[in-house]
Amino acid sequence: MGPRAEQERGVARFEESVLPHMDSAYNLARWLTRNGHDAEDLVQESLLRAFQAFQGFRGTDGRAWLLAIVRNACYTWLRRNRQQEVTTEFDEEVHTLEGDALNPEKLVLREVDSARVRQALEELPAEFREVLVLREMEGLSYKEIGTVVDIPVGTVMSRLARARGRLQRGLTSRPGEER
Amino acid sequence: MSCQETRVLLHAFLDDELDPVRSLGVQGHLDGCRDCAREHAAHRSLRAALRDQALYFRSPQGLESRVRAALGSQGAIERRAGWLGAAGAFLRMRWAWLPAGAVAGLLAVTVIIIGRFGAPPPGPLADDLLGREVVASHVRSLMASHLTDVPSTDQHTVKPWFNGRLDFSPPVKDLAGEGFALVGGRLDYLAGRPVAALVYRRRLHVINLMIWPAPGEPDRSPTVALHQGYHVLHWTQGGMGYWAVSDLNENEMKEFVGLVQR
């Protein structure tokens, strides 16, 4: 195969296995940055980086691979622009699941409008926001989330549990009420 | 199955990540325990709320066409550089499945997975593209008033700062005695991975030295390239890839690189 054909095959393979995940990439970047313009720039930049690295990509999961690149770009952006939001210091072990158990009186959400869910989700720390976006909106498995976020599967589970508990509490507390 | 066990496994159950036996155990408990069943129902309604299409941000119109256009122009650069001769980017995914204990106390850790991406390999094309990326990163570091994350002239402060932020430990040298003062370090993102950026100063010129692992690559002496008026020197030494970039003249850059290599 000539170099030209080889290259066209590379571009075609990229278009086939990575480009279809642009929506997922944008959704993650948009939730992490909470800003449309920056999300768009970061996705574009990430896709070009992904393309440069793609020749050697031998995995089968183009989506998780792309999302890991996008996530890294977003965190670099967050560290530069929203330093105070990146709080990776929380200790998964100290905060037990029990501490996040729900108050049974406030359990079932009724008629929650999406604007309130959006606000409550945006108020979560980025580390919680991203696992919820990846799990609930993108439908990723624990293993895939572990790849994207670079944490063990057990941590994925405990982080999701805590993220859900906090989101639930954010939604069930009335506006103005202390959370 | 007890309430406590059920609460631990509830999320894995909800997410279809439990093995059939424990899944049945949780289901059995939920059928008989009103409190746990309510918590389960609460999480299910939360899930439904999060899956509302109104919360999903689709990529804006025009983004895809811009990306395709950019890919096209990159393709053109690559054609000029000779695609076949380039090894292309090397990416390595390593998986380790480490089964651990099942339900222990409150936290059940069943599987640990580590995914890592490696660095691109050498090759004229990869180097040319990376050289441009390195220059872009250098320029950004000067523009965004974000030259350093850890401003310090002390190599013993800069080196440990990278611990836990990178999966490797970059060699950090202070060359102030030789006229290249260490200014600090920064975490950067290049070639699809986090890298160490060390910042040095020579008179008014800033030098960025980017370092990341190049596993299995032989030592290579520095090559010099000029991109947009910046000198970019690249070499490999002791399993690490180095990129030095600055607007400093070529001779002094070579002197700097010689000192770093020593």
pLDDT of residue B106: 30
Tell me, what's the pLDDT at B97?
30
Cβ pair A97:B57 closer than 8 A: no
Structure tokens at A13: 């393979």
Region of poorest pLDDT, from A2-11, A114-123, B22-31: A2-11
Instruction: Evaluate whether B192 touches B207 at the Cβ level (below 8 Å).
Output: no
- Nearest CA among A97, A98, A95, A75 for reference residue A86: A75
Chain A residues whose beta carbon lies within 8 Å of the beta carbon of residue B75: 7, 11
Please provide the distance, in angstroms rounded to a whole number, between the alpha carbons at the two ends of chain A: 63
CATH 1.10.10.10 corresponds to the domain A96-172? yes
Neighboring chain B residues of A16 at a CB cutoff of 8 Å:
none
Banded model confidence at residue B116, pLDDT cuts 50, 70, 90 = very low
Cβ–Cβ gap B117/A104 under 8 Å: no
Using alpha carbons only, what angle is made at residue B122 by residues B116 and B126, rounded to the nearest 5 degrees?
Answer: 90
Q: Which two tokens mark A11?
A: 């571009």
Confidence band for A11, pLDDT divided at 50, 70 and 90: confident
CATH class of domain segment(s) A3-86: mainly alpha
Average model confidence (pLDDT) across chain B:
77
Rounded CA separation A7/B207 (Å):
35
User: Is the overall model pTM greater than 0.95, yes or no?
Assistant: no
Q: What is the structure's pLDDT at B167?
A: 86
Minimal-distance CA residue of chain B relative to A73: B189
> Given CB atoms, is B69 within the 8 Å cutoff of chain A?
no
State how far the alpha carbon of A12 is from the alpha carbons of A9, A30, A129, B73, B169, in Å.
5, 27, 33, 15, 37
Please name the residues in contact with A147: beta carbons below 8 A apart, sequence gap of 6 or more: A61, A64, A65, A68, B113, B115
In this prediction, residue A138 has a pLDDT band, given cuts at 50, 70 and 90, of very high
pLDDT (mean) for B164-183? 88
- What is the domain partition of chain A in residue ranges? 3-86, 96-172
- Beta-carbon separation of B192 and A50 below 8 A: yes
- Could you tell me if residue B145 is left (phi over 0), alpha (psi between -120 and 50 degrees) or otherwise beta? left
Cβ-defined contact of B58 to A23 (cutoff 8 Å): yes
ipTM of the complex: 0.83
Task: Report which DSSP code applies to B232.
Answer: E
**Residue B253 token pair:** 């850059």
Kindly report the number of other CB atoms within 10 A of residue B246's CB atom: 22
Residue type, position A132, single letter: L
